Structure 1
Amino acid sequence: MSAAAKELGVTPSAVSQQVRKLEESLGVTLLERIGRRVELTSWGVLFHKEIAKGFGQLLHSVDVLERARSQTGIVLSALSSVVNKWIGRKVFEWQVIYPDANVKIIGRDEEPKMGDGSCDFRITYGKRVDVHAHFTALYTDWIVPACSPRLLAKRALNSPADILTFPLLNIEWEQHYLRPPQWSEWAQLVGAVCNEKLSGLFFALSSSAIDAAVNGHGFVLAQVSMIEDELNSGTLVAPYDIRLQLPESYYLAWDRAALEKPYGKEFHKWIISIARKQAIISAP
């Protein structure tokens, strides 16, 4: 009785009281008290044998759940361009901090269904985040004209308006997103007129337009968050740092159970922290 009380964190008298209540409920004597000793009666032996099966199954269930939490790791879904040009690059910083944490990143533009076990966290954009129960804003990005330095090797820029004389790469998002700033709006910002004949190439993904600019095919209105590495390496340059803000923010959504996974809370906190840094970098 003392050992049971110690394991349960109660007094021996509390254990005795619960046993008596159980005996009254069942209508049988489970424990036979002989002096200071306590032994199971035949009814107690039979009852213990059966309930031990149930407790064994409970312990097994807890073990299965714990192994599932530990083995599946963290699953992050994000928009394709965000995976290619932002979080897919930043995640190496996470790996340095938490080398034992497993993270799987999935690039998809359709919103996943949280709670079915296929996704723990989701980075999305704009009002589409409303389909999720738990979410928070990350950052609102800005765009800036950028191109390969090779494009400027034979032609000098004398003013921001000169950018509009080069081939212009356009990004046209799906209709459920608010339209991002276009070249005509940037031209208006610098007091110029956009030549529509030079802007006939459109991309559905920001990452594809950025890659085309890296390859020297023209200027792109690129998100600052997505060209950080290219600017640092010199594969892209931004001759004039004149920026326009996107109309909506990026968001982080999550399944509540994800925070109970190993490193789940840390991953949630980490994404929010790098997003705050990105907000500062992206703003003019």
Structure 2
Amino acid sequence: MSALPPLKALQAFDALGRTGSLTLAAADLGVTPGAIGQQLRKLEEAVAAKLVAPDGRGLRLTPLGATYHAQIRQGFAALAEAGAVLREAAADVIVLSCLTTVLGKWIGRRMRDWTELGAQARISLVGSDAEPDLGQGAADLRIYYGGRTHPPHRTELFTDHIVPVCAPALIAGRPLSGPEDILRFPLLHIAWDPRFGANPGWAEWGRLIGTRPPPANLTYGLSGSAIDAALAGQGFVLGQLAFIGPELETGRLVIPFDLRLPLPEPYFLAWNPASLKKTGARAFHRWLLGEGRAQGLLSAPPAREPA
């Protein structure tokens, strides 16, 4: 006797036992009566026992088959219950989708603040540069950049700014007399995905200070990678302030001259209204909006004192 009969054979046998009819069992599983009969023969071979017997043009369970069915019915009931528990658990998890660098360098770093609030919501963070279909349940909330996608339910989160930053060791012993001196060091460039439009780079920052920078020494496809290169002392990067907060606080990155450029477009938060019915979802939604407002204030240029 096989330790574990084929699942399809067990399903066919269970359907016959539940419906009492070969025809109804076939309809229940969406197959032909012949397919049911074939699976039943496989089951009998696997367990080496006579489980069904002819009943006119159909089949019925033998006494041994009825005993066996009572046992496997408990197994299928347990599987159904486990599936229901899993669906219920999954249905209450709030999925937040973000651009990869936004997850790794911004909101992912702030999640400790959320957990310290003692919130009951269960959160799943997904980094993806592809825009999920919130209406189809691909995610519950999405942080994305720019206004090229238009979910029906969205709000502006914050507008970020970029500023030249580097590791302190890069400029140690090499004092900078003005912002143009930054251009004497290796420059790290970030090449955005074209679907996000053009991002301000060294050419734009050079116009801000009235000069023309040389070509960048290294180009990266992700902001996070370029920031990591700057942390490693490879050069200056125009870092988004939302992505370098902890590094600035700890002194791992420094801003020799605080001359900021705004990104062309803001970040947005989109959501599926049905998802806000999940446990803690509305509180999490409000928290995200608050974090966005706080970041907007941090990223904005410092107010100038009147002359």
Which TM class, normalised by the smaller chain length? 0.7 to 0.9
Matched, 1:194 2:213: yes
Matched with 1:243 is 260
Matched with 2:57 is none
Aligned length: 219
The alpha-carbon distance between structure 1 residues 100 and 108, as it changes in their structure 2 partners (threshold 3 A), is same
Q: Say which structure, 1 or 2, has more relative contact order (CA 8 Å, 6+ apart).
A: 1
Matched with 1:93 is 113
Q: CA deviation at 1:153?
A: 1.1
Take 2:289 and 2:89, find their aligned partners in 1: how far apart are those partners?
A: 22
% same residue:
45
Matched with 1:3 is none
Matched, 1:206 2:223: yes
Take 1:228 and 1:103, find their aligned partners in 2: how far apart are those partners?
A: 23
Matched with 1:163 is 182
User: For residues 128-184 of structure 1, what are the alpha-carbon distances to aligned partners after superposition, in whole Å with 9 as ceiling and x for unaligned?
Assistant: 331x22111101100000000010113111110000110000011111112111101
Matched with 2:237 is 220
Take 2:85 and 2:131, find their aligned partners in 1: how far apart are those partners?
A: 27
Q: Which moved more, 1:108-117 or 1:257-266?
A: 108-117
User: What is the aligned counterpart of 1:117 among 137, 145, 153?
Assistant: 137
User: For residues 15-71 of structure 1, what are the alpha-carbon distances to aligned partners after superposition, in whole Å with 9 as ceiling and x for unaligned?
Assistant: xxxxxxxxxxxxxxxxxxxxxxxxxxxxxxxxxxxxxxxxxxxxxxxxx69972676
Matched with 2:88 is 68
Take 1:145 and 1:204, find their aligned partners in 2: how far apart are those partners?
A: 18
The alpha-carbon distance between structure 1 residues 268 and 66, as it changes in their structure 2 partners (threshold 3 A), is farther
Matched with 1:127 is 147
User: Normalising by the residue count of structure 1, what TM-score does the alignment of the two structures yield?
Assistant: 0.73
User: What is the aligned counterpart of 2:249 among 232, 253, 260?
Assistant: 232
The alpha-carbon distance between structure 1 residues 173 and 191, as it changes in their structure 2 partners (threshold 3 A), is same
Contact 2:226–2:237 (CA<8 Å) still a contact in 1?
A: yes
Question: Gaps (5+ residues) in structure 2?
Answer: 1-83, 302-307
Take 1:136 and 1:66, find their aligned partners in 2: how far apart are those partners?
A: 32
Take 2:223 and 2:284, find their aligned partners in 1: how far apart are those partners?
A: 26
Matched with 2:298 is 281
Take 1:245 and 1:232, find their aligned partners in 2: how far apart are those partners?
A: 21
Take 2:145 and 2:214, find their aligned partners in 1: how far apart are those partners?
A: 30
User: Normalising by the residue count of structure 2, what TM-score does the alignment of the two structures yield?
Assistant: 0.68
Matched with 2:127 is 107
